[in-house]
Amino acid sequence: MTGIIYHRLFGEHLQGYNHVESPERYEVIMKRLRNCPFSGGLDFIEAESAGVKLLELVHDGKYVSDILSMKIDSPVVLDWGDTVATPASQQAALHAAGAGVQAARLVLGGELDSAFCPVRPPGHHAERDRAMGFCIFNNVAIAASWLISEGGLGRVAIVDWDVHHGNGTEHVFFDDDRVLYISLHQYPHYPGTGHFNSVGSGKGAGYTINLPVGAGADDSLYLGKFHERIIPALDGYRPEFILISAGFDAHGDDPLSGCRLTTGAFGEMTRLLRESAQKHCGGRIVSMLEGGYDLEALADSVESHVEALVTEA
């Protein structure tokens, strides 16, 4: 069974505020997943809230307490302008982080085969001590850290196909060989990090793999990177768990990128990772929503992604 770890709060963050990372993103995804032909194969599970201890697996205590103690009556900017919080945002961010850990726990425990978490706010730009790029807490990094510290794993792979580089996730695990971070992203592009020669340091040297692509990159270029680089890297690493930072903003219709993926590419990339997970770790995959800003392309791409998680090849 594939879990969908949802919460109404994911549709309340930034409500009433005009932002491209909009509550409608969550609404269209949930509407699609509840009405798709394979919805019977999905287990809809309400997300738990993360406690402070989980957040501090990745984030500085002072940053966590600064965020959680803010009194938010009207929209406030958390960084230099693109990350905004409204009254529901703190609770939404706690549940977004909680969803990833909950999904990881349920998949590790065998209660689910895989899971997709349609969380808002997203996470991969959030740094140890600051909000950035629409992200407050780094949801996928928190799930990976939980798999290591509580799940007892020693090799967790994060594949990040959001069109933007996941600077926050890279930094958290840059000198750590217990997480293999692989990012496929448009470059040069926001946030400016993710050069191919950024490969990790110390014990983590070689465990960060950046695969930058130029604007205009299409399905064949992306899938080529999977076949030539990503799948072989996973074969070498033999992950015990695969996490996906699933952004859908490399779609051709997306307003925030110059990449040209079709809907079907997201299904194909998912099938390749699923095969890899079946080969190395009993099929264990948890996918966390990151970007994706054209509502129709987002709903279509999420459907293609989740269908590939659910359906036997």
Nearer to Zn ion, 249 or 307 (CB): 249
Q: Choose among 271, 284, 244, 243: nearest CA to 111.
A: 284
Site string for Zn ion, 189-228 (x = CB under 5 A): ----------------------------------------
The piece of 36-44, 49-57, 233-241, 287-295 that touches Zn ion (CB under 5 A) is: 287-295
The piece of 45-53, 84-92, 144-152, 154-162 that touches Zn ion (CB under 5 A) is: 154-162
- Say which of 125, 164, 185, 280 is annotated catalytic: 125
DSSP string, 113-128: SEEEE--SS--TT-BT
Q: Which of 11, 151, 194, 247 binds Zn ion (CB under 5 A)?
A: 247
Q: Choose among 159, 214, 171, 167: nearest CA to 191.
A: 167
CB 101 within 8 A of CB 146: yes
Site of tokens 């009254």? 87
In the complex, residue closest to Zn ion by CB = 291
CB 84 within 8 A of CB 17: yes
Q: Which of 127, 170, 249, 253 binds Zn ion (CB under 5 A)?
A: 249
Nearer to Zn ion, 14 or 147 (CB): 14
Nearer to Zn ion, 135 or 172 (CB): 135
The type of residue at 63 is Y
The piece of 44-52, 177-185, 244-252, 297-305 that touches Zn ion (CB under 5 A) is: 244-252
Q: Which of 164, 165, 185, 274 binds Zn ion (CB under 5 A)?
A: 164
Q: How many CB atoms lie within 10 A of CB 80?
A: 9
Task: Tell me whether strands 179-186 and 156-160 are parallel, antiparallel or unpaired.
Answer: parallel
CB 200 within 8 A of CB 206: yes
State the DSSP code for 266.
H
294 near Zn ion (CB under 5 A) = no
Beta bridge partners, 244, equal 159, 287
Does the annotation mark 125 as catalytic?
A: yes
Closest separation in Å from C-beta 249 to Zn ion: 4
Nearer to Zn ion, 125 or 130 (CB): 125
The piece of 72-80, 97-105, 152-160, 241-249 that touches Zn ion (CB under 5 A) is: 241-249
Binding residues for Zn ion restricted to 57-86, rule: CB under 5 A: none
Nearer to Zn ion, 105 or 164 (CB): 164
Closest separation in Å from C-beta 281 to Zn ion: 26
E strands of the chain, at which residues?
2-6, 42-46, 76-77, 84-85, 114-117, 156-160, 179-186, 208-213, 241-246, 285-289
Residues recognised as catalytic: 125
Binding residues (CB under 5 A) for Zn ion: these are 162, 164, 247, 249, 291
